[in-house]
Amino acid sequence: MPRPRIEVTRLGKSYGPVAALTDVSLTAAPGAVLGVLGHNGAGKTTLIDILATRALPSTGTARVCGFDVTRSGHQVRGRIGLTSQYASVDEAVSGRANLLLLARLLGASRRQATARAEELLDAFGLTEAADRAAGTYSGGMRRRLDLACGLVGRPEVLFLDEPTTGLDPVSRAGLWALVAGLVSHGTTVVLTTQYLEEADRLADEVVVLAGGHVVAAGAPATLKAGIGSRAAAVRMSDERAVRHALGVLAYAGIRATPDPVEPVLRVALARPGDITAVVRALDAAGPDILDLTVTEPTLDDVYLALHHESPRP
């Protein structure tokens, strides 16, 4: 086993009376994606800030690429890239200029900096927009530029703090593909997110934070197995139709749960064929289905399954 790129042991961080992190332990191997999942205020950014040497831990230890973040911050900074919610892109200058400047700051020669900027612009599909001011970029382009900036120094570890929050689905999918590409080059990625689906898609290991504590950790599949599955929400015309549908489904051996407020019933979809069975049973009996949506489990379902109140503000 190679040494983990990230080793966090009993980490704690307080801001005055606020315990932002308590007793957090985790590791991430070379070339692995660690997903840190949690709602606003869970402690995700605090964890990233400590690992990226932007904040000091109050208790415990954290090592990045074998270096202690408190004692060897300089060595850590030379090996990491960071893309935060509030990235340091200069909006007034072009995408290319941002990359050139960063490369020069990191000690590249003019020629090396130019080559690296071209390479990254190309890899992130920004060549055409390279000479436009970054402030004019769309949300998706801007995130791609953020990511490119984080990669200028060819980091061993890349921290992505909520890289897809607020992005449209297409840009989000594009970013996921980029992350997958990075990992294939051996980069370790630590990614924070509020989306279970994102952690599931990208991460090898997931740590769930709530109120600064690790409340669950493991492979995404294990985590999902513990919280159940996708569900179908079937909207009916009225309560009478819901009662009828419940009877019909029960007769077909399908358990459904009525919504306490709306004329909607929910059915867990554990296996691929389950949705067909639901539709077939309802169609045969003829209750009025107004709408049917399939929902993926969310972070709230994870918290619920862990008997943790969702700490959403």
Ligand X SMILES: Nc1ncnc2c1ncn2[C@@H]1O[C@H](COP(=O)(O)OP(=O)(O)O)[C@@H](O)[C@H]1O
For ligand X, the closer CB: 58 or 61: 58
Q: How far is the CB of 45 from Mg ion (least distance, A)?
A: 3
Q: Are 60 and 138 in contact (CB under 8 A)?
A: no
Least CB distance to Mg ion at residue 44 (A): 5
For the chain, how many residues are written? 313
Q: Is 45 in the site for Mg ion (CB under 5 A)?
A: yes
Which range, of 15-23, 107-115, 243-251, 255-263, touches ligand X by CB under 6 A?
15-23
> Total binding residues for Mg ion by CB under 5 A?
2
Nearest to 35 by CA among 162, 170, 140: 162
Given the complex with Mg ion, which of 44 and 142 has the nearer CB atom? 44
CB 298, CB 230: distance < 8 Å: no
Q: Name the token pair of 287.
A: 């209750």
DSSP class of 134: G
Pick what 41 binds: ligand X, Mg ion, none; C-beta below 5 to 8 Å, kind-dependent.
ligand X
Residue 83, contacted partner among Mg ion, ligand X, none, CB below 5-8 A by kind: none
Considering beta carbons, is residue 46 or 53 the nearer one to ligand X?
A: 46
The DSSP-derived string for 221-239 is HHHHHHH--EEEEEEESSH
Cβ contact 161:44 at 8 Å: yes
Beta bridge partners of 92: none
Distance of CA 312 to the CA centre of its chain: 16
Query: How many residues line the site for ligand X (CB under 6 A)?
Result: 11
Tokens standing for residue 134: 């970054």
Stretch that binds ligand X, among 39-47, 96-104, 230-238, 299-307 (CB under 6 A): 39-47
Q: Is 83 in the site for ligand X (CB under 6 A)?
A: no
> Shortest gap between Cβ of 246 and Mg ion (angstroms)?
42
Q: By CB under 6 A, which span of 12-20, 172-180, 183-191, 226-234 interacts with ligand X? A: 12-20
Output 45 or 187, the one with its CB closest to Mg ion: 45
Rounded to an integer, what distance in angstroms lies between the CA atom of residue 261 and that of residue 162?
33
- C-alpha 202 chain-centroid distance: 8
Please identify, among the stretches 11-19, 42-50, 130-138, 235-243, the one whose residues bind Mg ion according to the rule CB under 5 A. Answer: 42-50
Q: Which residues pair with 37 in a beta bridge?
A: 193, 208
Stretch that binds ligand X, among 44-52, 121-129, 134-142, 281-289 (CB under 6 A): 44-52
Closer of 12 and 41 to ligand X (Cβ): 41
Whole-Å CA distances, 115 to 18, 29, 41: 46, 30, 40
> Which positions touch ligand X (CB under 6 A)?
15, 18, 20, 38, 40-46
